[in-house]
């Protein structure tokens, strides 16, 4: 899903501070005594199904190896809290954490181009080339690049403005959308659902990205004076775009990044589309982290403040273009108006903790530096 692909859609900080893991107890986790863990356990089981097929020697950064996690997964019990409390050791990630949210939006679509359905939703272009740089340089694990071949050279792919103006002859059109603003937010969230004009529904899952840099539209609108930092939110950005149709296209094209999709059956409607790890996301039990630093599949305890405080256990199953830094996380809220409202309003500080298998914790001790 790519973390809502490009969540943190209205503001972005690229400043990255070094961080350290500091061992704590479960009693020191704010709100642990009242926090539920059943949904997180089900989410963790899904990740275990993926980790089971990894090479046991595969590194999971500071969190040991895939083999360590395979052993832990084999010990899963039905008592969620007891499983986590007896099998894991919590560590606080130093520094103030920043939490944002993402969700599954719904758009309207048609198999044929007619009436208001004039905006194409593209599948992956046949000439799009992507590469995991970690396959070439170990320290770049988690970094990706995309473009197209020009002879023997990899060159930048078309940006959003070029695709809007010229279309994509090398990509199939999955369907036609009736609202370019809705499609824009679907791309930012990374996946969602489509309701067709014949009544059918399908998931619209992340399949690729053009590799161009992501620019947060909220930040651009603030710089233009259209919105202020105090009032910018998902709802105010949407309201501005709909209120200024003659300016909306140019505003959205400030973001050069462009996401391509694939269709999939709805499946379990209570879950989201698959995240980066390859399993369906669980509302408020799945989160996106910086996969260059943290291992996907690991449990994290989130203690976020604000008017909608959250203290819960979640599993790292996704990542995103704007999720950068050790104490940075994007919380998946699910599908529907309530999920959209909560995700759109989420930008809170707090504390982020990672749970490591006890055997791994014994090896790293009470404190460990993160990259």
Q: What is the separation of C-alpha 220 from the centre of its chain, rounded to a whole number of angstroms?
A: 21
Confidence of residue 139 (pLDDT cuts 50, 70, 90): confident
Pairing of strands 153-155, 119-122: unpaired
Q: Is 140 or 265 the better-scoring residue by pLDDT?
A: 265
Q: What is the separation of C-alpha 261 from the centre of its chain, rounded to a whole number of angstroms?
A: 15
Confidence of residue 4 (pLDDT cuts 50, 70, 90): very low
307-340 b/e with 16+ CB inside 10 Å = b?
eeebbbbbbbbbbbbbbbbbbbbbbbbbbeeebb
Q: Are 329 and 341 in contact (CB under 8 A)?
A: no
The pLDDT score that the predictor gives to residue 8 is 39
Of 3, 21, 24, the C-alpha closest to 12 is 3
The pLDDT score that the predictor gives to residue 1 is 52
Q: Is 102 or 9 the better-scoring residue by pLDDT?
A: 102
The pLDDT score that the predictor gives to residue 17 is 46
Poorest-pLDDT segment among 8-12, 291-295, 322-326, 349-353: 8-12
Phi, psi of 287 (to 5 degrees): -140, 160
Of 259, 224, 228, 252, the C-alpha closest to 238 is 252
pLDDT tens-digit map of 194-219:
999 999 999 999 999 999 999 999 99
Of 26, 24, 21, the C-alpha closest to 81 is 26
For residues 52 and 253, what is the distance between their CA atoms, to the nearest angstrom? 42
Mean pLDDT over residues 110-117, rounded?
98
**What is the average pLDDT score of the chain?**
93
Q: Are 335 and 272 in contact (CB under 8 A)?
A: yes
Where do the domains of the chain lie, and which CATH numbers do they carry? Answer: 20-102+269-366 (2.40.40.10), 109-264 (2.40.240.50)
Going through 37-128 in order, the beta strands assigned E by DSSP cover 88-104, 106-110, 119-122
Confidence check: pLDDT of 78 > 50: yes
Phi, psi of 366 (to 5 degrees): -85, -15
Phi, psi of 246 (to 5 degrees): -75, -15
* 249 CB neighbour count, 10 Å cutoff: 17
Percent of the chain at pLDDT above 70? 95
Q: What is the DSSP letter of 341?
A: H
pLDDT tens-digit map of 218-255:
999 999 999 999 999 899 999 999 999 999 999 999 99
Q: Are 358 and 99 in contact (CB under 8 A)?
A: no
Q: Are 189 and 104 in contact (CB under 8 A)?
A: yes
Beta-carbon-side half-sphere exposure of residue 264 (alpha carbons within 13 Å): 18
Percent of the chain at pLDDT above 90? 89
Q: Are 203 and 191 in contact (CB under 8 A)?
A: yes
Compute CA distances 199 → 67, 109, 113, 129, 234, whole Å.
Answer: 46, 10, 16, 35, 28
Confidence check: pLDDT of 329 > 90: yes
Confidence check: pLDDT of 363 > 60: yes
The pLDDT score that the predictor gives to residue 18 is 59
Q: Are 313 and 353 in contact (CB under 8 A)?
A: no
Q: Are 302 and 330 in contact (CB under 8 A)?
A: no
Mean pLDDT over residues 47-73, rounded?
97
For residues 218 and 33, what is the distance between their CA atoms, to the nearest angstrom? 37
Mean pLDDT over residues 265-293, rounded?
96
């Amino acid at each position: 899903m790519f973390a809502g692909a490009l969540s943190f859609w209205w503001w972005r900080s690229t400043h990255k501070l070094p961080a350290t893991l500091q061992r704590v107890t479960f009693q020191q986790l704010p709100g642990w005594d009242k926090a539920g863990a059943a949904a997180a356990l089900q989410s963790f089981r899904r990740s275990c199904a993926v980790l089971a097929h990894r090479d046991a020697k595969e590194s999971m950064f500071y969190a040991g190896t895939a083999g360590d996690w395979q052993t832990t997964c084999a010990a899963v019990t039905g008592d969620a809290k007891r499983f986590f409390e007896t099998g894991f050791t919590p560590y606080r990630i130093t520094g103030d954490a920043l939490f944002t949210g993402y969700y599954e939006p719904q758009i309207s679509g048609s198999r044929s181009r007619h009436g208001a359905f004039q905006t194409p939703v593209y599948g992956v272009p046949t000439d799009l080339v992507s590469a995991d740089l970690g396959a070439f340089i170990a320290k770049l694990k988690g970094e990706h690049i995309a473009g197209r071949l020009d002879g023997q050279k990899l060159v930048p792919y078309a940006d959003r403005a070029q695709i809007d103006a010229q279309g994509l002859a090398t990509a199939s059109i999955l369907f036609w959308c009736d609202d370019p603003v809705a499609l824009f937010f679907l791309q930012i969230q990374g996946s969602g659902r489509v309701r067709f004009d014949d009544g059918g529904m399908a998931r619209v899952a992340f399949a690729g990205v053009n590799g161009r840099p992501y620019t947060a539209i909220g930040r651009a609108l603030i710089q233009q004076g259209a919105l202020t930092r105090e009032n910018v939110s998902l709802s105010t950005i949407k309201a501005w775009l709909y209120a200024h149709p003659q300016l909306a296209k140019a505003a959205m094209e400030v973001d050069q990044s462009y996401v391509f999709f694939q269709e999939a059956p709805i499946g379990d409607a209570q879950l989201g589309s698959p995240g980066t790890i390859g399993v369906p996301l669980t509302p408020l039990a799945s989160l996106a982290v910086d996969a260059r630093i943290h291992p996907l599949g690991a449990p994290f305890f989130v203690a976020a403040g604000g008017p909608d405080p959250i203290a819960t256990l979640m599993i790292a199953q996704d990542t995103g273009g704007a999720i950068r830094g050790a104490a940075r996380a994007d919380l998946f809220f699910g599908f529907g108006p309530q999920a959209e409202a909560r995700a759109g309003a989420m930008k809170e500080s707090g504390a982020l903790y990672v749970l490591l298998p006890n055997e791994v914790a014994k090896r790293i001790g009470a404190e460990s530096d993160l990259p």
